[in-house]
Amino acid sequence: MMHEDSVSRMAARFAEQANAVPRRSLCSTSVEVLDVSSAGLTLMSGHNSGSVCFTDERAGQLDELQFSLGEGPCHDAYAWRAPIFEPDLEHADPRRWPSFTPPALKSGTRGVFAFPLHAGMRCIGVLTLYQDRPGVLTAHQTADGLVVAEALARSMLTTQSRSGSDVLATELSGVDAHRAEVHQASGMVSVQLGISVADAALRLRALAYATNRSVVDVARDIVARRLRLEDDRPAPDLGK
């Protein structure tokens, strides 16, 4: 009962902020309650994701980085439907997030903690927390993190129900249109190269990483036909 009361009070607090523009207060309140350095809130569905808010430029960049790379604590929390804790990125297993960890460390981030937002049997998003110093979350922070994540999910569903839509309200989700461009570009590359859309998306991310660009910029060039990916698969040996 105490947990339910805490969730209800926090959900009511978030519900007031969900209709505000900008909605950064959703994240700033989470940082205040959980006593962490920064935070980002992301809505997710399948391979799609979009930022609802982030407390600062770094958190926004790390959210975009995870989307571009297709790896990171947010992805794992969503895939596994469970909290993901990495208290010290500098000494973490390098195989965990090989592409995400170096730039995250360069940004000054030492610890990352991701809490999935559950809505019944579904996961609708992730709250990702960032720490400037290494160290585990306290038991109190962990317990409060679970409460905050549940409250955020509840307030989002409340906003959805008020919108009269069968999907999460676009007013709340804030999913940028550029995410659609990435999926459009993936479809174009899929047709051009005769590969699956999933493989095409990987090609986009690999090119973005190799050229130090965002996957969104690469996608825009492909959609505008300023860029065309070449088929780098080896040609069949017709002499055999």
Examine the pLDDT at 113 and tell me if it is beyond 90.
Answer: yes
Q: What is the mean pLDDT of residues 29-52?
A: 84
The segment(s) of the chain belonging to CATH 1.10.10 are 177-223
Residue 174: CA atoms inside 13 Å, Cβ hemisphere, count? Answer: 19
At residue 231, the pLDDT reads 62
At residue 217, the pLDDT reads 83
Q: Where is pLDDT greater, at 173 or 135?
A: 135
CB contact burial 16-51 (16+ within 10 A = b; e otherwise): ebbeeeebbbbbbbbbebbebbbbbbbbbbeeebbb
Q: Quickly state the pLDDT bin for 86 (edges 50, 70, 90).
A: very high
Cα–Cα dist 114/1, whole Å: 25
Q: What is the mean pLDDT of residues 37-64?
A: 83
Q: Quickly state the pLDDT bin for 159 (edges 50, 70, 90).
A: low
Q: Quickly state the pLDDT bin for 42 (edges 50, 70, 90).
A: confident
At residue 102, the pLDDT reads 92
Q: Are 70 and 98 spatial neighbours (Cβ–Cβ below 8 Å)?
A: no
Examine the pLDDT at 182 and tell me if it is beyond 90.
Answer: no
The segment(s) of the chain belonging to CATH 3.30.450.40 are 2-173
CA angle 101, 73, 150 (to 5 degrees): 155
**Residue 56 neighbours by CB distance under 10 Å:** 16
Cα–Cα dist 81/11, whole Å: 20
- Asked if residue 134 has a cis previous peptide bond (ω within 30° of 0), the answer is no
Partners of residue 38 on adjacent β-strands: 130
Examine the pLDDT at 6 and tell me if it is beyond 60.
Answer: yes
Query: Is 2-173 a CATH 3.30.450.40 domain?
Result: yes
Examine the pLDDT at 225 and tell me if it is beyond 80.
Answer: yes
Q: What is the mean pLDDT of residues 190-202?
A: 80
Q: Quickly state the pLDDT bin for 135 (edges 50, 70, 90).
A: very high
Range with top average pLDDT, 12-16, 41-45, 88-92, 202-206: 88-92
Output the CATH code of domain 177-223.
1.10.10
